[in-house]
Amino acid sequence: MMKNVVEVHDLVVVRGAREVLPGISLDVPAGVTGLLGPSGCGKTTLLRSLVGAQRVRSGSVEVLGEPAGSKALRTRIGYVTQAASVYDDLTVAENLAFFARVLGVGSDAAGAAVEAVGLADHRSQVVGRLSGGQRSRVSLAVALLGTPDLLVLDEPTVGLDPVLRRDLWELFHRIADGGAAVLVSSHVMDEAERCHRLLLMREGRIIADGSPDEIRERTGAPDIEGAFLHLVGAA
């Protein structure tokens, strides 16, 4: 039985003259894993590498036992970027129907995905007329098509109100409880407490890896933000 959903070894990514990821290694098991760190620390580059959308200099990235970007992974990974990746001139239902056809999944899956993100009452609305939070949820619904084994979410709750953030985190945990791995990036440190496991990142490197309790105990800090600052100061 596969222990980890993602295995990254000595990953190097270079953009221009800058080494964004200088040879990092990590793994992601089933459950909810948080990837936390300030803006510009390399989180998005790492996530793009996991889904096969980033050119890498060296190292290896395996997802579900396959090299990242493999054709076999197309229906097994759901990926949500920071910008909503749906068509604004289509309705919610039309977007889901289109992507369901692309992925080769049935209409039942599209309906279930809309229900899962709480947009059943907005099926017939044009996406471009929805609020920012609702548009983000349409993108998440698309990512859920086909019940992926790995859900990769790049700052999915930024700018959302507290109630919607809570609802989405409850959804992430329900997905993980079903056996999937959920990797959520954020620069909002209080979201760390919602994760089973944390990867704290700074300047392209993983500076801490463990549960919230383990990281707080290791640093003696009362919260994850304090732990992060302690680790930065000790580096």
Each residue's pLDDT tens digit, 5-33: 999 999 999 998 899 999 999 999 999 99
pLDDT at residue 204 tops 50: yes
pLDDT at residue 46 tops 90: yes
Q: For the chain, give the percent of residues with pLDDT over 70.
A: 99
pLDDT of amino acid 66: 96
pLDDT of amino acid 189: 85
Helix (H) or strand (E) holding 225: helix 224-234
What's the chain's average pLDDT? 92
Host domain of residue 128 = 84-147
pLDDT at residue 159 tops 80: no
pLDDT at residue 235 tops 70: no
Q: Does 157 fall in a domain?
A: no
Q: Does 100 fall in a domain?
A: yes
d(C-alpha 159, C-alpha 154), whole Å:
13
Contact in structure between 33 and 196 (CB atoms under 8 Å): yes
Contact in structure between 70 and 62 (CB atoms under 8 Å): no
Where does the pLDDT of residue 1 fall: very low under 50, low under 70, confident under 90, or very high at 90 and above?
very low
- Tokens 């620390």 belong to residue: 41
Contact in structure between 202 and 235 (CB atoms under 8 Å): yes
Q: Does 79 fall in a domain?
A: no
Q: Does 55 fall in a domain?
A: no
Q: Does 119 fall in a domain?
A: yes
Contact in structure between 185 and 48 (CB atoms under 8 Å): no
- Tokens 């054709």 belong to residue: 71
Q: Does 105 fall in a domain?
A: yes
- Tally of domains within the chain: 1
Instruction: Give mean pLDDT, residues 123-129.
Output: 96
Q: Does 221 fall in a domain?
A: no
Q: Does 219 fall in a domain?
A: no
d(C-alpha 25, C-alpha 10), whole Å:
5
